[in-house]
Amino acid sequence: MKSIFLSIAGFLIKLEFEDTEYLFNKNQIIFTIKKFLSNFIELPNFKLRSNNIKIDYIIRFEESLIVKTLKHISSEEFFINFYKKKSNNVIKTYYHISFLHLQLLLKNVIQKLLNNSDGFFLHASGFYVNDGVLLFLGKSGSGKSTIIKILRDHTFPIADDSVIIKREKNNYFVYQTHFIEKESWVIKKKDKYVLKSIFILHKSKRCFFSKIKDRKEVFKKLLESLLLSNKKNNKIQYKKIVDFIMDFENFYHLYFNNSPNKLIELFRKEKII
């Protein structure tokens, strides 16, 4: 049985591909995974050591000879079988799913693993500079993508839309997600980065930033930026946000306009870039 090991957010996920007579769908999903998730794949020599390494989750692909279809009578919508839980850490899925389905499935798996550790998904953009990551939060249209576009030549952008924050050994780290986002040029990797600061974005005629001292305000903004896979995760994630705010202090308001030069000048003045 062919297998691929993915390392995402420090978790090890094994993809297993069962034998099938219908090779096209199998080969297509394997090709797509290798193409778009290549930087999350562990190298071949990793398999030699895999017997001694903890696998956090298994996703097993198999052929479904009958693609089940469910119709929602009132809305005239149709649904096909997606995946089935086999045990606490094993999911069965099918070769007929798309790569988008796989991205969503991986999100659900990682969300479950994060619920059992100190971590959460966050709707944010960000870049790596000077040995750490700066993250930018805000509503749609607030400028999250604009920030990384303006500063892409001065920093290493790591996210356009989503990140994972995880606490490890009393430090907070940022991991890149596996999603193919709007700014698809952002290079995604399995590496982790030290979290330095989080900025809440505001459109303004002036360019400046100020430290946020009100923890309630930070809590509200972080809740608005949480990426949740279902309502059951809410209570768990809220608790993690509270713990994060109590431990981490570098929260700022960033006011800026669409002038690239002024934004670059501000970041240079503050010795950020």
Convert the pLDDT of each residue in 10-61 to its tens digit: 999 999 999 999 899 999 999 999 999 999 998 766 655 656 778 999 999 9
Q: Is 137 helix (H, G, I), strand (E, B) or coil?
A: strand
d(CA 258, CA 171): 34
* Angle at which helices 215-225 and 234-247 cross, to 10°: 140
All domains in the chain, ordered by first residue: 2-115 (no CATH), 119-269 (3.90.228.20)
| Cα–Cα distance list, 36 to 21, 32, 85, 165 (Å) | 25, 6, 25, 22
d(CA 102, CA 91): 12
For strand 171-176 and strand 162-168, is the pairing parallel, antiparallel, or unpaired? antiparallel
pLDDT digits (tens, 9 = 90+) for 166-221: 999 989 999 999 999 999 999 999 999 999 999 999 999 899 999 999 999 999 99
Cβ contacts of residue 92 below 8 Å, gap of 6+?
60, 62, 83, 84, 85, 86
Confidence bin at 230 (pLDDT 50/70/90)? low
Residue the block writes with tokens 């798996």: 109
How high does pLDDT run on average in the chain? Answer: 92
